[in-house]
Amino acid sequence: MSEQREQWQSTAGFVMAAIGSAVGLGNIWRFSYITYENGGGAFLVPYILALFIVGIPLLLLEFGIGHYMKASAPLSMFRIDRRFQWVGWWAVGFTMFGILIYYCVVIAWCLNFIVFSLYQPWQDLAGGANAFFFGQFLGAQDAGGSLHGPFELTGPRLTVVISLALVWAINGVVVGRGLRAGVEPVIRVFIPLLFVLMIGLVVWSLFLPGAGQGLSWYLHPDWSKLADWRVWVAAITQIFFTLSLGFGIMIAYASYLPERSNITRNALITAFADSFFAIFAGVAVFATLGFMAQAKGMPVSEVVTSGIGLAFVSYPKVISELPFLSSLFGVVFFTALAIAGLSSSISLIQAFVSALSDKYRINRGKAVGTLCTIGFLLGLVFTTGAGISWLDIVDHFMTSYGLVLVGLLEALIVGWVFGGERLGAHIEEAGEFRFSAHYGTFMRLLMTGALALTWFGLHQTGGGLGPFLARLFVLLSIAGVWLQRSWLDYSLKIIIPVVLLGLIDRSLAQEFAAPYGGYSATAVVGIGAGWLFVTLIVAVVIDLHSWRAGEGRRG
């Protein structure tokens, strides 16, 4: 089987595809509202620390294991130890049938907004862009203007349904053609185009009057924010989401690499390109918000809609305020978002199909067609009037628990069972390049810097047993990073598990303090936790179903 496994045409194709998966709605739409909600520029600090402490090591893990096993996530896990196949199925399962389902709905909104930008229908509407997005477009508001609850499923919105069908059709055609004939060539057009569009937007936004006001708000770090656990939780979960970690995507993508591959370099390029893109896109978003604040004579904090609507409410407002070529600005912005989103959705479907074909004899075209049809049908619930609450709840649970739990399991399984040192050795060997000499020191320095900053941050949280233990752990970690032979091993075995367990503990504490987002407990537990639980059961069932003849023995 591994003889026939497809391969990337070139390393550049792989790196672009990995960047294409990483750079998505998460970098523009999600990053900007999460940054906004977590204190603007202050958020960049925990975000970058999370990148170094959790993001890069896990990316190395996913690339390294996929490359070593030449297999998708479930088969890779199975080959580490036959008990762990379900972890891989759960990863590709809840992301494909959870995250991707609403994700494609957001891409669909972008397609709609490309068209709306041309005639800006929110202009003459009482209530403006806000009423347009939540009311007229999504049908998510009742007569009094408040949002529908999660159980008020009013009919699907036809405009969204049509563009959703288009999104799934594009997904299906691209992935259906296979890695070399579909995914790779499409990504090679999408990614450069995306960067060009983004550069255009950033330059444009910087010339708007008031841009500086928005930027200074964006880039001004408020260190006291580091004392708030919620900011850390948001930063780490955002890193998971934005680097496509815990989805099984990076494992599958790396499985198509040739024997000789510089995994370290590719992981660093992917991680830096992704964060750079997010921070860069943030410049465009916040500069334009600054422009609007000035135009309206209000502070930045008052012109912004927080949450999911930021890109779809604040941006349209900005578009209408622009002195010239305003439609073009909107078209470019929403096209960039749609392209970023599509290159991510494609990666996940590819990862799922790869998992399926590692286990079952499938006909690719039929499998992709069926998957995309199911994806479209499940997506319909997010096109109803209750869709936006569903989206909020599902996103919260999938990201805060699903991705993080998969990351924790991966770190433990690879760290302790497969062996972190062994992974490091494989990465070195495949890239014909030694960790210990340059990269090891580099990573140790980066991790030390990140941990030291974390220590200072924790220092501000004051007394109590929790912060004390956290500080102690940080100090021990710094020692460990230097004393251990393999920093990667140490990071997978100890640092990442402790950080992620702490994160899950904090998130759960918040969950019990009050139901997420002010929704009813039934909705939160039923929709959010229920979704994760059902996909977990399905993963276990698939696990119990044995491999096709011969495959199991290769474990």
Only one of the segments 279-287, 342-350, 376-384, 506-514 lies at the binding site for ligand PHE (rule: CB under 6 A); that segment is 342-350
Q: Tell me if 308 contacts ligand PHE by CB under 6 A.
A: no
Beta-bridge partner residues of 141: 147
Nearest approach in angstroms of CB 269 to ligand PHE is 15
The minimum distance between CB 114 and ligand PHE, in angstroms, equals: 18
φ and ψ at 141, to 5 degrees?
A: -110, 145
Q: Is there a contact between 350 and 103 (Cβ–Cβ < 8 Å)?
A: no
Task: Note whether 261 binds ligand PHE by CB under 6 A.
Answer: no
Which residues are bridge partners to 147 per DSSP? 141
The answer to whether 26 contacts ligand PHE (rule: CB under 6 A) is yes
Member of 35, 255, 261, 347 binding ligand PHE (CB under 6 A):
347
Residues 28 and 311: their CA atoms lie apart, in Å, by: 8
With CB under 6 A as the contact rule, the residue among 237, 242, 264, 294 that binds ligand PHE is 242
Span interacting with ligand PHE, options 44-52, 175-183, 236-244, 405-413, rule CB under 6 A: 236-244
Q: Residue 27 interacts with ligand PHE (CB under 6 A)?
A: yes
Q: ∠ CA(193), CA(196), CA(198), 5° rounding? A: 110
246 binds ligand PHE (CB under 6 A): no
Instruction: Give 100 or 308: the residue with its C-beta nearer to ligand PHE.
Output: 100
Listed ranges 24-32, 139-147, 156-164, 315-323: which one lies at the site for ligand PHE (CB under 6 A): 24-32
Specify which residues 159 forms β-bridges with.
Answer: none
**Pattern of binders to ligand PHE over 216-235, x per CB under 6 A?**
--------------------
Residue 535 near ligand PHE by CB under 6 A: no
Three-class SS string for 377-442?
HHHHHHHCCCHHHHHHHHHHHHHHHHHHHHHHHHHHHHHHHHHHHHHHHHHHHHHCCCHHHHHHHH
Query: Using the rule CB under 6 A, is 94 a contact of ligand PHE?
Result: no
44-83 footprint of ligand PHE as x/- string (CB under 6 A): ----------------------------------------
Candidates 229-237, 239-247, 390-398, 505-513 — which segment interacts with ligand PHE by CB under 6 A? 239-247
CA 155/CA 170 separation, integer angstroms: 25
Residues 80 and 365 sit within 8 Å (Cβ to Cβ):
no
The first and second tokens of residue 296, run together, are 């309206």
Is 383 within 8 Å of 164 (Cβ atoms)?
Answer: yes
Residue 284's closest CA among 337, 223, 320?
337
Binding mask 136-155 for ligand PHE (x = CB under 6 A): --------------------
User: Nearest distance from residue 103's CB to ligand PHE, in Å?
Assistant: 4
**CB contact at 8 A, 74 and 389:** no
Q: Rule CB under 6 A: is residue 344 a binding residue for ligand PHE?
A: yes
d(CA 315, CA 114): 12
Cβ proximity to ligand PHE: between 477 and 535 the closer is 535
- Contact between 286 and ligand PHE per CB under 6 A: no
Give min distance, CB of 243 to ligand PHE, in A.
6
Inter-residue contact 167 to 107 (CB < 8 Å) = yes
Greatest alpha-carbon pair distance for the chain in Å reads 70
DSSP helix/strand/coil, 147 = strand
- The answer to whether residue 35 forms part of the interface with ligand PHE (CB under 6 A) is no
Q: Does 406 bind ligand PHE (CB under 6 A)?
A: no
Other CB atoms within a 10 A radius of the CB of residue 158 amount to 9
- Does residue 402 belong to the site contacting ligand PHE (CB under 6 A)? no
CB of 395 to ligand PHE, least distance (A): 10
- Counting contacts by CB under 6 A, is residue 99 touching ligand PHE? yes
Instruction: Please report whether residue 354 would count as binding ligand PHE according to CB under 6 A.
Output: no
Query: Least CB distance from residue 53 to ligand PHE, whole Å?
Result: 19
> Token pair for residue 140?
């998510």
Count CB-CB contacts under 10 A for residue 530: 14
Using a CB cutoff of 8 Å and minimum separation of 24, what contacts does 255-259 make?
255/5, 255/66, 255/67, 255/69, 255/70, 255/71, 255/72, 255/76, 255/354, 256/5, 256/6, 256/7, 256/8, 256/14, 256/179, 257/7, 257/8, 257/11, 257/14, 257/66, 257/67, 258/7, 258/8, 259/430
In the complex, the smallest distance separating the C-beta of residue 93 from ligand PHE, rounded to whole angstroms, is 13
Candidate residues 8, 241, 397, 401; the one interacting with ligand PHE per rule CB under 6 A: 241
> Judged by CB under 6 A, how many residues of this single chain contact ligand PHE?
17
Closer to ligand PHE at the Cβ: 135 or 248? 248
Nearest to 198 by CA among 16, 22, 24: 24
The least distance separating ligand PHE from the CB of residue 192, rounded to whole angstroms, comes to 18
Closest approach, Cβ 216 to ligand PHE, in A, equals 26
Closest CA relative to residue 265, chosen from 498, 510, 40, 431: 431
Q: Which helix (H) or strand (E) holds 75?
A: helix 73-80
Q: Which stretch binds ligand PHE (CB under 6 A): 162-170, 339-347, 392-400, 523-531?
A: 339-347
345 lines the binding site for ligand PHE (CB under 6 A) = yes
Report the residue number, 314 or 345, with the smaller CB distance to ligand PHE.
345
The site for ligand PHE (CB under 6 A) is made up of 21-22, 24-27, 99-100, 103, 241-242, 244, 247, 344-345, 347-348
